[in-house]
Structure 1
């Protein structure tokens, strides 16, 4: 799989993660037929904006007649034009001038207007008007809306003046996690399905690898990280360096989210595996991301600028500017303001850039801009806040230590030449930011302010704002607010002279590394000169496309046939760690099988043979044009992206590309220059390569230790026989060759006519004993794409733990079998995913509808004719053992497994599955299971998009005809039954399974029961109120941990809510954290009792407005509808019912509901998974970061007694099966009207 980051991938990345699983995207991108403005002309994939009196079209297309003129558009822009005497009202209502800049090339599908300005202080800004998304409106708002806004703004201003001190008390937003179903729920949400599929590979281990890599590349500083969100971010940031990310999210933003993988109904938080039963997508019911106003600002300085004596200072400053300003001094004031008005914020620190972004309801956008701008105008950064926030940075670092991806990248950075910034410790921790400075008489507070004054200068900054305002209005606001940012007049730091940082003897070696997870992996890396200047050619993208190909003749195809490899990622992620002003990385990471580990030199040789073949052939124009066509198609028909993701990506693009290519620079291939491609390709030779071999087999053989993450490793020369061979003109491998022409590239983009009446919601057009089909023709987005989803339901899966494991093996082998034949479809923007659901196989296919049937039929053909060789069976089962193990050693996933094992009757835990797999299964038992599985099914499907009803029925018919199965004997529920928790406080405390991990996870859960949709909505509102004070109390004031969040839980239809804190055993005992959570809940009860009616109504209104927002892309609508189908609830107008429920609530409803669930008779369950540290004594604990687990040590839970810190009335659970066997079962329940 090639590794790259584009608008589609990065946008989806940087923020999807934090937009609670299931967040990624929003904001209408319509194709030219519907969304193109009247004065634009479409040329191929481009929309060239024209203005009166300016006939010369500007473009960055490679066509000679569309080249922009020679002026340097990237260096300067027009100075803000609105005079100080022009009223805002004139800007908003007067004769509307919303013409965009003609120089900016955009997609014909993009209805937005763009304008570039440069303020007098040097700040560059891109203004984006969404006005063309407002159907039926010619201005910014109707008169009635304006009057209402003015009244509300006045009222809100008064409110805010009074509220500054009690925003935390009255206004909050929380991320809402729906834990319905099995194990994958909350965290895997899937916004538009556009990007999650790209980032997930087809092998279990790849997903695990992706998650780890994501953790490595994105140091998350999220202030409130939703479970789903964490996975998402992780996943989405798979290709990003480490980007520390400070995220605060509102449940309001998350109320419309869903997860990424595909289980149907459990809860979620960073579930890494896609093809595991019980680890699928939990799609939050009836909710979608909203189109908000958004802004992002990129400071052109990052961690490279850290002073040598204060490692992590840039990252720390990114945290600290959030902690109040001179104009708005409350520490959490900005976050509280956003939560109050349905918004969220985020920030990230990269090597040479730091990005801040937020979104909020449009009506409050101007005020939010003013509050946010104070981060850069006059942040307070008081000493007391510094001491407390250092603990948050340290907790973030502690969470990162057990990540193999982080550890590998820190090791890689340490190989740089002395004095190069890559050798710095970017994360920062309590030692580097507090204790060491104190010992050396360094005033961190003073140095922090100095760093801010030196580097947060307006002329280093690029700003992007997007809202449904006119461009003139946005220009006025930006000029008025952001002109106050100081400009120090100093030159921007430049590291471009520090080239060739890895041109050292230490780089070209073999490094054996001991990982935390069970994995065998080989990474081959080259450090090249910076490649940013070649963005129009993208040589590394061309090479990535070939190296990462999985079709016939590819590296991975060959290695899979040898049963040496499961996955391969190749390329450059185009972010700070992999591409900066001093070097660019090209890396190839291969997940090895046990046998592949024994032949890792042969694996490396195969890679070098393929690269040598490419070097001999030279660049191929056919290949380049095929990649170019695929990217052009996607750009031409792209769907709208969530505004906050979009502005984040654009503000970074402004630092990298000239004006005309702000929107296209990271996506399109403009020019074919074979000499540029050849120059990069010819550097990828064995003599310049760095080899890193990760394997648990290296334990005991590594005598070196990396300073910051404690990674054990050894350095050695490449074995002499191989080194000598690679110096010669070695033979090529005849099995390796270029891919054939791609038959899946779409060429027909016509929109199809309706062959049945239009409907607002899906309708059931087929209903037979063998299956049913729901269908909806797209009548809104008008794009030539379709989504196909099928759920093949079988009662066989959950009959035993062994069956669940066999199902996982089956889905993984099926995916393995499809990898080669389906890869061409994948690179042609036809995406598919197979998910081992709790109760059936989920098939998801999407993309341009022209060739979509070919891919769907291919999948069904391979399913019908399923087969496996003994070698493939052994390879997959061995890898699955590693995957299960890697899941179990993470405290957060073990905590989820334990909680669901207690709550869901007849659930098979991950330990049950691991034990069944370790006991041994045979190929014969797998083939017998698959035969029985396919013999009796119920198939339920949903088809939406540019497809007729007749064509849709053909999909179901093809499944039924090819599989030729019998119907189920009786209707089968697609959820577990849930036990009724007894009254009182029950505690299940277990030991974490990774002896090298100090991290603990503490969750306090209150069960409500089988409730109505109205009560579910009330609980959403409650958790939304809870989030901000929860964060303020448990993280900001108590500094208990980095991840702190309340959660709305829907466990197989049974409601509840919880509060979770991720902490460390080196700092706190888990019972102390449990007590602090209870203290918070008690204080929260008092807060909501004292909540004013105005504050209550504001929160209700914010949640209503979010639920009222229309879907902004087809995938979002499909996700919501599919959730109704896959959970068999079919309440497609759920949002409307939730809005009606919200309108009926009073403050007393909220208070009474909370009191009823916290008072006498409440059903409270605490789950503690405790790490290794001085506050959780363990005699044989290993130093943090060192893994000494064996397989037998994760075969069972180790129950621990509670400490005396909890009251005597706490009831311990020391045997889950024995405890749950005595409990009553609640009936199957669906949350409907």
Structure 2
């Protein structure tokens, strides 16, 4: 039986099992009628020896198709090839004396093989050919994956396979990769999401795999094992020999080749992975991992950021055997519903909460595994809610009580569609939800190759090969009894209840003797434990009824018409309909770009309307704009949340010069959703409960914006990005100015600002997908007739920032006083841009492409400065059109002082890069050029990819829809001398090129003696 896939998935699949037990899914991305692009030697696999690096590359990269000489018209569209290998072992299998070993091994595997021993050989090969590599470790699985241009897939796949045939696991790499693991741990340690996840696992029973410390750090992987005489390197090798065996592995590969070719390729390469006949790790005996002592308590957890959440977590029996009923998905949708009658709608109305999410992410193996499936309800509290957490909890349990009553009634009356109270029944929701899931799946576009192989390789570990896409996605076999059983388990006495408030952090800091606040050892989480009073628990068991609660109403947004417009009427590029005769009045108020597109065979459309204005300039006006967007979004969640359940998406967001409204999904009901948004946007602003805002809501939204802004600057990387944007974007305000303006805002300020902004607007609209020209006009005209602006805004260009031609150094301290993480960026705005000549932009991208891997190899692998290291190109397309490059290193101050990190970054920029560029061989240069040409020839994997690219052009001041074709033309005529001359006259020219060194330093390790 073939893979069950969507109607629009053109890929062909074949499952096979090699003689060594390796299970493989072959995926051909050839479309009907297509033939593989001819490649002469590049798919060959070296059979013996490691070979000389240059001759090896020369052998693999000869091709009958010379990308550098093809014109755009005669070049077929390319698609990347990708592979993912999943090993059925993860952190749950870590030995107690070396926790984090599975994660550590994941890092070590990519450090070379016996056949290809050079360190970073694989990363270097893939990166230079427009590819990407990564890996991650979960509780039960470890997955490795990469993508690359198809013409290089053969040799890359051989290098990849040899990590599992005979990994080098060189002892010389141990200490350096341990530092990378520790750096990754330090980043996670400052992340509240990972902290809370780990805290919950720390409550599990002693001895259960669920309690293990999966990240690993210096202490767990070096200090502790050494103290008891354990050789970690030897444990690493034994762990690899025990679990990295072919019959515990699943492999998925995708390429634009025939299935027969791919099967032969896999047999030739992966048959050499040894089968050691190891037993599959089994954790079923550890079901019910939490002790009874973990319940009936309130855990007060100290956050790093401004996190204000109340969480309820239930440990259910593993739901993996019941995947065909998708219970977690279905019940998560019911409890997490945000429309009328929902738990969140009521909490918002009572001003107790701003957000709620429920269920579990079924792809998160840590929360959904052989031992248990965690079901959670997470409530983001308002300012009032943080003072009344037990009241919020009472409402949560009141909603669950209503749900239990509905479940019991449906179990006794499964055919009833109406409950005794007149509302819907739980059983009537099941077929509707089943229908919605089926419609979404039917028109689910194929994923990008790299995402596809990850999903398939992981799914094959758990589900039958033909159900890798539908498992946990469709209600294949709805099971009302199962749903009712789960609902009955969601009781207060079986819930783990955590409350996370910023004030707990200051309380814990004052508790120097740890008499109240304890410390979790691995993540240094401070927390207090309180027994829930018996009288409070009794209230939760029998909460007051809330008459407003009821199950979701019939969804009015369910699509029934999936017809496509004629394919022959497709537009290759967007067209501004307001330039046509008869549209003069509309033209004065904006642009209406339309691109009818059905080549992807999905009845879906995307509509973006940006309301541009010159008014939002000051920090105060920007704060009002963000608050307005927040208020609109919150109200819409209640009014039209059912649209999102029916495959429609919507958002209202603040942008630099106004508001942006986006709607997308099945086109049949899209205009109905769009009308609802503009009707709310234009509704009168009143200071009453019926208005968009009142005093209570205004205060709540202000507090939420304050929290989000604080959280942004408490992350060193995000804070660094904020400073970078402030220096390069004239519309950005410093966060301290924004915060002051936000605190001073009043409701009157808001009421005065909104009509002022709407009185002068200019619309930029883009209607894309399965919508005709007539329908596109209706979207623009409805917006204009609703807003009725007296006059159009005249948009002005933004000034281009100028910096002194030198190294401009800016140092700021991390606002988080206990965080050891630092972030340094070397920002180089390319002089001479913006320019009407795309050549500078193309050269800039090629420059970064050539240096990405050397930057990683020097700063991460060799100098071990930190886990997160990268060199990136950037283009400010929507503002000034300036471009440049940024080198970023996230490190830890308890390991390296920022002055040392900056010194290594300077060394790479000023000493190593010139050697690379001026010693670049013609063959290496041509490889980089060919890879960039191939990247510009990539076909759009989904309609959203094309839509986003064209939308970015429309929102810029100068749309260039054939940007990729022009880039190809430039690259085809580029010489190595041109490239070196570009570097010599720009980044290498210290008399012309300014540089910004931005440092976000750790306050914990600050020294007044530090000198820049």
TM over 0.5: yes
**955, 963, 976: which is aligned to 1:1134?**
963
**561, 577, 590: which is aligned to 2:366?**
577
Partner in structure 1 of residue 339 of structure 2: 551
Partner SS, residue 361 of structure 2: coil
Distance 1:656 1:796, change over 3 A: same
Is residue 795 of structure 2 the alignment partner of residue 962 of structure 1? no
Distance 1:676 1:156, change over 3 A: closer
Is residue 39 of structure 2 the alignment partner of residue 129 of structure 1? no
- 1 CA distance for matches of 2:266 and 2:133? 18
Distance 1:155 1:1079, change over 3 A: farther
Superposed displacement of residue 421, structure 1: 1.1
Partner in structure 2 of residue 788 of structure 1: 607
Superposed displacement of residue 404, structure 1: 1.1
8 A Cα contact 2:761 2:793, kept in partner? no
8 A Cα contact 1:1066 1:1172, kept in partner? no
Partner SS, residue 380 of structure 2: strand
Distance 1:350 1:1074, change over 3 A: same
Superposed displacement of residue 902, structure 1: 2.8
Partner SS, residue 826 of structure 1: helix
- 2 CA distance for matches of 1:739 and 1:778? 34
Distance 1:1065 1:730, change over 3 A: closer
Is residue 8 of structure 2 the alignment partner of residue 109 of structure 1? yes
How many matched pairs?
948
Superposed displacement of residue 1007, structure 1: 2.6
8 A Cα contact 1:510 1:717, kept in partner? yes
Superposed displacement of residue 1107, structure 1: 0.4
**475, 486, 500: which is aligned to 1:669?**
475
- 1 CA distance for matches of 2:521 and 2:78? 44
Is residue 371 of structure 2 the alignment partner of residue 588 of structure 1? no
CA deviations over 1:833-862 (Å, ceiling 9, x no partner):
112100121111100000000001111111
Distance 1:157 1:1146, change over 3 A: farther
CA deviations over 1:661-696 (Å, ceiling 9, x no partner):
222113110112211111111100111111100001
Distance 1:140 1:697, change over 3 A: same
Is residue 564 of structure 2 the alignment partner of residue 751 of structure 1? yes
Structure 2 spans left out of the alignment, 5+ residues: 62-66, 68-76, 411-425, 509-515, 580-586, 686-691
8 A Cα contact 2:49 2:115, kept in partner? no
Equivalent residues in 2 for 1:555-566, closer than 5 Å: 555-566=343-354
- 2 CA distance for matches of 1:677 and 1:154? 53
Equivalent residues in 2 for 1:1015-1026, closer than 5 Å: 1015-1026=840-851
Partner in structure 1 of residue 71 of structure 2: none
Equivalent residues in 2 for 1:942-953, closer than 5 Å: 942-953=766-777
- 2 CA distance for matches of 1:506 and 1:530? 19
- 1 CA distance for matches of 2:28 and 2:41? 24
Partner in structure 2 of residue 681 of structure 1: 487
Partner in structure 1 of residue 513 of structure 2: none
Partner in structure 1 of residue 555 of structure 2: 742
Partner in structure 2 of residue 47 of structure 1: none
Partner in structure 2 of residue 334 of structure 1: 122
Q: TM-score, normalised to structure 1's length?
A: 0.75
- 2 CA distance for matches of 1:725 and 1:1083? 68
Is residue 937 of structure 2 the alignment partner of residue 1108 of structure 1? yes
- 2 CA distance for matches of 1:1062 and 1:740? 48
Partner in structure 2 of residue 880 of structure 1: 705
Partner in structure 2 of residue 700 of structure 1: 507
Superposed displacement of residue 157, structure 1: 11
Partner in structure 1 of residue 796 of structure 2: 972
- 2 CA distance for matches of 1:526 and 1:413? 12
Partner in structure 2 of residue 69 of structure 1: none
- 1 CA distance for matches of 2:43 and 2:315? 54
Superposed displacement of residue 158, structure 1: 13
Partner in structure 2 of residue 989 of structure 1: 811
Is residue 668 of structure 2 the alignment partner of residue 840 of structure 1? no
Superposed displacement of residue 1015, structure 1: 0.6
8 A Cα contact 2:520 2:526, kept in partner? yes
8 A Cα contact 1:1085 1:1151, kept in partner? no
Is residue 294 of structure 2 the alignment partner of residue 294 of structure 1? no
- 2 CA distance for matches of 1:364 and 1:1148? 26
Partner in structure 1 of residue 858 of structure 2: 1033
Superposed displacement of residue 1109, structure 1: 1.6
Distance 1:1154 1:1105, change over 3 A: same
8 A Cα contact 1:317 1:452, kept in partner? yes
8 A Cα contact 2:2 2:14, kept in partner? no
Partner in structure 1 of residue 596 of structure 2: 777
- 2 CA distance for matches of 1:386 and 1:565? 47
Equivalent residues in 2 for 1:432-447, closer than 5 Å: 432-447=220-235
Is residue 242 of structure 2 the alignment partner of residue 454 of structure 1? yes
Poorly superposed stretches of 4+, deviation over 6 Å:
153-160, 164-167
Superposed displacement of residue 1154, structure 1: 2.2
Is residue 985 of structure 2 the alignment partner of residue 1166 of structure 1? no
CA deviations over 1:907-945 (Å, ceiling 9, x no partner):
312221012122x21101101101111111000101011
CA deviations over 1:230-251 (Å, ceiling 9, x no partner):
xxxxxxxxxxxxxxxxxxxxxx
Superposed displacement of residue 969, structure 1: 5.1
Distance 1:1059 1:435, change over 3 A: same
Partner SS, residue 505 of structure 1: helix
Equivalent residues in 2 for 1:170-181, closer than 5 Å: none
- 2 CA distance for matches of 1:541 and 1:153? 42
- 2 CA distance for matches of 1:632 and 1:931? 43
Larger mean Cα displacement after TM superposition, 1088-1097 or 543-552: 1088-1097
Partner in structure 2 of residue 531 of structure 1: 319
**165, 187, 190: which is aligned to 1:377?**
165
8 A Cα contact 1:1013 1:1138, kept in partner? yes
**909, 915, 921: which is aligned to 2:745?**
921
Superposed displacement of residue 1088, structure 1: 2.1
CA deviations over 1:715-769 (Å, ceiling 9, x no partner):
1111332112234x44432110011100101000111248x96531011111411
Superposed displacement of residue 1169, structure 1: 0.9
8 A Cα contact 2:50 2:115, kept in partner? no
Superposed displacement of residue 637, structure 1: 1.0
Is residue 48 of structure 2 the alignment partner of residue 162 of structure 1? no
8 A Cα contact 2:199 2:520, kept in partner? yes
8 A Cα contact 2:394 2:539, kept in partner? no
Distance 1:964 1:906, change over 3 A: closer
CA deviations over 1:989-1035 (Å, ceiling 9, x no partner):
11111101111111112232324311111010000000001000011
- 2 CA distance for matches of 1:847 and 1:828? 9
Partner in structure 2 of residue 499 of structure 1: 287
- 2 CA distance for matches of 1:969 and 1:759? 29
Cα RMSD (Å):
2.3
Q: TM-score, normalised to structure 2's length?
A: 0.91
Superposed displacement of residue 906, structure 1: 5.7
CA deviations over 1:862-912 (Å, ceiling 9, x no partner):
101153111110110011111111111211122122223233346312221
Superposed displacement of residue 659, structure 1: 3.0
Superposed displacement of residue 435, structure 1: 2.8
Equivalent residues in 2 for 1:152-231, closer than 5 Å: 161-163=51-53
**571, 577, 585: which is aligned to 1:765?**
577
- 2 CA distance for matches of 1:525 and 1:490? 35
- 2 CA distance for matches of 1:1020 and 1:166? 27
Is residue 894 of structure 2 the alignment partner of residue 1070 of structure 1? no
Distance 1:1129 1:349, change over 3 A: same
Larger mean Cα displacement after TM superposition, 813-822 or 1044-1053: 1044-1053
8 A Cα contact 1:1065 1:1172, kept in partner? no
Superposed displacement of residue 1164, structure 1: 1.5
